[in-house]
Structures are given as structure tokens and as C-alpha cells.
Chains A and B, each alone.
Chain A
Amino acid sequence: MSRLPTTFIFGVVVTLLFIFTAMLAPLVSPYSPLEQELYAGLEDPGTEHIMGRDRLGRDILSRIIHGARVSLTVGFVTVTVSVVVGTFIGAFAGYAGGKVDEVVMRVTDIFLAFPGILLAIAVMAILGPSLNNVIIALSIMGWTGFARLVRGQVLSLREREFVLAARSLGASDLRIVVFHILPNVVAPVTVEATFGVASAIIAEAGLSFLGLGVQPPTPSWGAMLAEGRQFLLIAPHMTTFPGLAIMVAVLGVNFLGDGLRDIIDPRE
């Protein structure tokens, strides 16, 4: 195989850094993310607090490091739920075909007809803001993409000769789906899941920015942006650093997905 593209390596490094930072947050953050020192509110970045402090004098770097936990949790849990639900529904619709397929796909279309973030806002408004509800809201719109992807794959795979061969051996439908069809959809689903993590991170930031996501004082990148917005002119560091964190994390995960797609796509 030729050399791995630099963007893919960048993606892997950023994603791993992101995961480890989130997991080891209490160990690597220099200060507590919650401890307030009101007299030092809006302090500029300096040698002690390299990203400065927010309105309540909390260390921004520490808050970003802890904020990664929220982003990581939302990103991965949402995608896991979406993949499981979407794969199950998509595989069922694609393999059953006919009327079942028709009904399931029209339901999926109804979900897809809503602008994603609008649906999430509506769900959050009903459920009330909290981390768990963010995950529920994002999963409600997340599964549709996977359902469509898996259904499409299953539709083409079930006509393949190796599936017919399994049927001629007397394999049950369950066996065919589990051993012959699903292993062949793992690759495209993995790629799609990576992009799903990235969009879930953005969606969480968006919801938290609007005050519908994770509630204070828990640090979240989106909520930090919202707090900093009021002080954009006098303390731009409050928005710059969380904004950069979102950008780098999403870019890294997307590059990882792109690279994975290139590696998996040209068959063997």
C-alpha cells in the first residue's frame, strides 16, 4: 500500500489526543474547571493561565479539557445508538423488501424531512435540557442516515451470488443476515459512523450554545461560546479557544473518516 495521506495521520493523531484528553481530564487539566476566582474574571491569556480566564475567573484551558468529555460522550454514545438502531432497521427493511421496506423507508423519510437541528431543538424543548436528553435528541435524528445506508447495502448484497449460495445450502434468513450480509456492511458503516461523531459534536455544541444542552456549571464547548459571546470585544479569548477546540476536533474526526474511506473503498 502507498504511504498514508498526511490528512489521515493528522486525523488519527487529533482523534486519539481528543479521546485521551477527555478520558484523563482530571489528571491533565492544570486547574479545576469549576473553581471560581471572581477577582480575576476575564483575565487575558498569560503564563499561568495560558488560555486566560472566563467571567467567573475559571481557567479556560481546564474547562476546554473537561468540555472534551461532554463532546466525546455525546459524539460516541449518539453514534453507537444510531448505528445499532439504524443497522437493525435498515437491515430489516432491506432484507424483508416489498411492503415492509416501503413503510419503513417512508417513516425514515418523515424523520429526514425535518431539518435535523430543528427536530433536536423541539425534542430538547419537550424533554428539558440535560446531557442524556441531548443524546436522545441527537439519536432520534441520527439513526436515519444509517438505516438508509444499511438498507441500500443490504438490497445490493442480498442479490449477490454468495447469498444465493447460502440459501441453496439451506441457511436460515437470520444466518444469512448475520454471517453473509452484515459483515459486508461493517466497512461503509464504520466510515459513516466517523462522520456521525463529528456532526454529533457540532450538534451538541449548537444545542449547548442555545442553552438547550448541558447545563452550567458543567463545561461544554458550545456553552462556553455562548458565555463568551457577551464579552466578544473585551475578552475574545473566551470564544476563540472553545471555537478552535470544536474546529480541530471535528476536522480531525472528519479527516479520520476520509482516510478510512479511502483505505476501505478500493477492495483489498
Chain B
Amino acid sequence: MENGQLLSVRNLKKHFPVKGGVFSRVTGHVRAVDGIDFDLGYGKTLGLVGESGCGKSTTGKLALRLLDLTEGSVSFKGTDIFSLSTGEMRSLRKRMQIVFQDPYASLNPRMTVGAIVTEPYHIHRVGAKKDRLQMAVDLLESVGLGSEAVSRYPHEFSGGQRQRIGIARAIALNPELVVCDEPVSALDVSIQAQVINLLTDLKDKRKMAYLFISHDLSVVEKICDDVAVMYLGKIVEIGEAGAVYSNPAHPYTEALLSATPTPDPLKKGNRIKLEGDVPSPMNPPSGCVFHTRCPLKITDCEKIVPALTERSPGHNSACIVR
């Protein structure tokens, strides 16, 4: 299955059962991720964008097998990670890591920063015991924190510093893939830029690939090679970032881009306003899932499920109108 990609996702589905009523019967399923495909090359960055609840984070967790999938496959360097035994998966985890959104929830409040950052070494028995603390200090310095941090607790740090600690933990084992799950959404705008720059530097130095999940299109534009736009568990547009940003093919992408604030106060954007709310993922619309809110909707949209079709080389969009 080796196809030269670091990560290959095929027809990935994750349906969460919804329980209710007597004896907690399964009354329905939330189709968090509903059949998506994408590839991520070595050292590349793929941005995964979409509104809250569209399945971005679930996709990120599935890519690392932190959740079980319902259908489909996830291949890491040609190996289907869901076919591995627990032990094999555990050793593969060295190669893949995650940075979480909330730097307050993702660090154990009862562990010192030193213990947090050395934990990957303990788990995978990397380095001699006595060297591990020095390795942690080096790591903390590489993310811009001083060596005195090792003996302190997470609550003594600011949000941005905590996120740096989270990043240090993620890169400790020199992973090839890092899933960044909204790594800057919880931070102040001024701090966001610093953390983004840090992530970019680290990626270049350590040759890592990022699956970068965000709802902030301007952040994705800055850091990503490719971008995939998700809506209600499906990818509606995917392609090279420049092509998608300059020439969006899907009306949803267009609406998202028109909602991004620009720094020029004189520039009057034609803001496309979407009517209504995102439909429930328990009961997604028939045909194209976006048809309930789409400004370009025709009657066929209610019947035909649009497939991703090529707009320009490497740039695909799922829309039957354009």
C-alpha cells in the first residue's frame, strides 16, 4: 500500500452511537466523519478547516488511532495502523504525536514540567535515566523556555508558555507526524503568531509533517502547503493552499473565505452570508450535505451526492453546480 505518502486516509468514517431511552438503547448515530480521503506527504502540512462540529478533531484523533474507526483505513508509511496490535501501535506512537487546543487541560496539573517533558523518554526508554532531564532542558530551550522551567508546575505558566510545553512533549521523540488540533485557538492573537512561528521553525528543522486542524483560515494560509475544507463530516474541497485560497471552487469555501477579516479597512468584501445553522450530524441532509444553506442550490443538489472532481491539477471540489 506504500504510495510515497506519510499518511493516507481512505473512506474514513466515524459514527458515534447516541444512546437514550430505556436500557440505553442506541437511538441513532452522529456521523462525525463520514467518508473522507486525503494524503499527507513527508514534511508537508495539510490544513483541515471547517466550523465547530464538522469532524476536524475527530479526524485528527482517528489519524493517530486515539479513537476507533467505524469504516475505512488510515495508513502511516504504508501500514494500516488499525490492523496493528496494541504493542505494535504503542511503539509506532513514537513516530506520531499530537498538540492539543487547550494548553490548560492538556498538561497534568500534578506533574512538574520536567516530568511532563521526560515522560515520552520514560515510556519508550529513550536515553539513560540520568540524561533524560538534560534532554528535557534542551527540548524546552528549543521551544523557547528556560531550563528553570523543569522544576515548576504547569499552573505557573501563561497560556502561550504552556502551549510551548505541550509542543516540547510532542516533539520529544522526533515524530514524523504531528497532529496540531487547533494549537493556537485558545491563545491571544499576539501569542498566536509566536507559536505559529515556532511550529514553522520546528517543522523545517526536524522535518516533521503537520496535520493542522483549525477554524482560522488566515492561520492555515500562513502555515499550510495543502488545505482541506470540511463540512458536516465530509471534505468539500481539497487542494494546494494557494489554489484553494485564490480560486475557491466550492460555495462553502467561498463563504468561509469571505468571512475572514482583512487588515484593509477600505476593502469592501462581498461577504457571503450563509442562512440557517449547520444541520445535525445525526440526520444529515440528503444529496449534497451543504444544500440546505447553499446560495447556488439547484433541485438536483437534494438528490445527487457530489463526488470530489478535479478543478485544476491537485485541486478537487465536490459540487455539481460548478
A binds B: yes
Contacts A169-B169, A171-B119, A175-B123; is A164 near B66 (CB within 8 Å)? yes
With A161-B105, A183-B110 as contacts: A168 and B98 at CB distance below 8 Å: yes
A78 to B300, CA, bound (A): 72
Are A167 and B66 in contact, CB atoms less than 8 angstroms apart? yes
Assuming A161-B102, A161-B105, is B110 touching A184 (CB within 8 A)? yes
Q: Is B90 engaged at the interface, CB distance under 8 Å to the other chain? A: yes
Q: Are A165 and B98 in contact (CB under 8 A)?
A: yes
Chain B residues whose C-beta falls within 8 Å of the C-beta of A170 in the assembled complex:
89-91, 93-94, 123-124
**Residues B64 and A168 in contact, CB atoms below 8 Å apart:** yes
Bound form: Cα–Cα A172–B89 in Å = 11
- Interchain CA distance A180-B106 in the complex, whole Å: 11
B35 interface residue per 8 A CB criterion? no
Cβ-neighbour of B108 out of A167, A172, A184 (below 8 A):
A184
Q: Do A268 and B155 form a contact, CB below 8 Å, given A162-B106, A164-B66?
A: yes
B66, A160: Cβ atoms closer than 8 Å: no
Do A162 and B66 have beta carbons less than 8 Å apart?
Answer: no
Pair A169/B97 contact, Cβ less than 8 Å? yes
Which B residues touch A268, using CB under 8 A? 109, 155
CA of A103 to CA of B102 in the docked complex: distance in angstroms? 34
Knowing A161-B105, A175-B123, say if A168 contacts B110 (CB, 8 Å): no
| Across-interface contacts of A183 in B (CB, < 8 A) | 108, 110-111
Any A CB within 8 A of the CB of B290: no
Contacts of A166 in B (CB 8 A): 108, 119
**Neighbouring A residues of B93 by C-beta, 8 Å:** 168-170
Within 8 A of A (CB), among B97-135: 97-98, 100, 102, 105-111, 119-120, 123-124
Which residue on chain A has the smallest CB distance to residue B90? A170
Say which residue of A164, A179, A184 sits within 8 Å of B109 (CB atoms).
A184
Q: Is the interface of A mostly helix, strand, loop or mixed?
A: helix
Residue among A168, A172, A180, A267 with max Cβ neighbours from chain B (10 Å): A168
A164 contacts B100, C-beta separation under 8 Å: yes
A161, A179, A268 interface centre (most CB from chain B within 10 Å): A161
The distance from the CB of A108 to the nearest CB of chain B, in whole angstroms, is 19
**A184 surroundings in chain B (CB, below 8 A):** 108-110
State whether A179 and B111 are in contact (beta carbons under 8 Å apart), knowing that A160-B105, A169-B119 are contacts in the complex. Answer: yes
- Per the bound structure, the CA–CA distance linking A168 and B99 in Å amounts to 10
Instruction: Say whether B97 contacts A168, CB under 8 Å.
Output: yes
Q: Are B123 and A180 in contact (CB under 8 A)?
A: no
| Distance of A170 Cα from B123 Cα, bound (Å) | 7
Q: Mark A30-47, 1 if CB is under 8 A from B, else 0.
A: 000000000000000000
Closest chain A CB from B91 CB (angstroms): 7
Chain A residue with Cβ nearest B92 = A170
Give the Cβ gap from A92 to chain B, nearest Cβ, in Å: 19
Verify B119–A161 contact, CB threshold 8 A: no
Q: Do A162 and B108 contact each other (CB < 8 Å), given the known contacts A167-B66, A168-B98, A169-B93?
A: yes
Known: A169-B119, A170-B93, A171-B119. A161 touches B106 (CB 8 A): yes
Q: Do the beta carbons of B107 and A162 come within 8 Å of each other?
A: yes
List which A171-225 residues lie within 8 A (CB) of chain B: 171-172, 175, 179-180, 183-184
Tell which of B91, B94, B100, B155 touches A165, judged by Cβ atoms closer than 8 Å: B100
Interface residues of B in 166-182 (CB under 8 A from A): 166, 169, 173
Which residues does chain A contribute within 8 Å of B90, judged by CB atoms? Answer: 170, 172
Q: Which chain A residues lie closer than 8 Å to B89 at the CB level?
A: 170
Bound-complex Cα distance A160 to B108 (A)? 9
Known contacts A169-B119, A183-B110: does B105 contact A162 (CB below 8 Å)? yes
State how many angstroms separate the Cβ of B230 from the closest Cβ of chain A. 21
Cα A162 to Cα B102 in complex, Å, equals 10
Closest to B103 in A: A161
Alpha-carbon gap, A170 to B93, bound state (A): 6
Complexed CA–CA distance, A265 and B106 (Å): 20
Q: Which of A165, A167, A175, A267 contacts B169 (CB 8 A)?
A: A165
The closest CB in chain A to the CB of B108 belongs to A162
Give every chain B residue within 8 A of A175 (Cβ-Cβ). 123
A172 to B155, CA, bound (A): 26
**Chain A min CB distance to B112 (Å):** 12
- CB of B310 to closest CB in A, whole Å: 34
CA distance A98 to B16 in the complex (A): 15
Contact of A169 among B102, B110, B123 (CB under 8 A): B123
CB-CB nearest in chain B for A163: B108
A-B contact pairs, 29 of them (CB 8 A): A161-B100, A161-B102, A161-B105, A162-B106, A162-B108, A164-B100, A165-B106, A166-B108, A166-B119, A168-B64, A168-B93, A168-B97, A168-B98, A169-B97, A169-B119, A169-B169, A170-B123, A170-B124, A179-B108, A179-B111, A179-B119, A180-B108, A180-B111, A183-B110, A184-B108, A267-B109, A267-B155, A268-B109, A268-B155
What is A's interface to B at a CB cutoff of 8 Å?
Answer: 160-162, 164-172, 175, 179-180, 183-184, 267-268
Those 6 A-B pairs whose CB atoms lie nearest each other, nearest first: A170-B93, A161-B106, A183-B110, A161-B105, A170-B90, A162-B108
Q: Given A165-B98, A168-B97, list of 5 further CB < 8 A pairs?
A: A165-B106, A165-B169, A167-B66, A179-B108, A184-B109
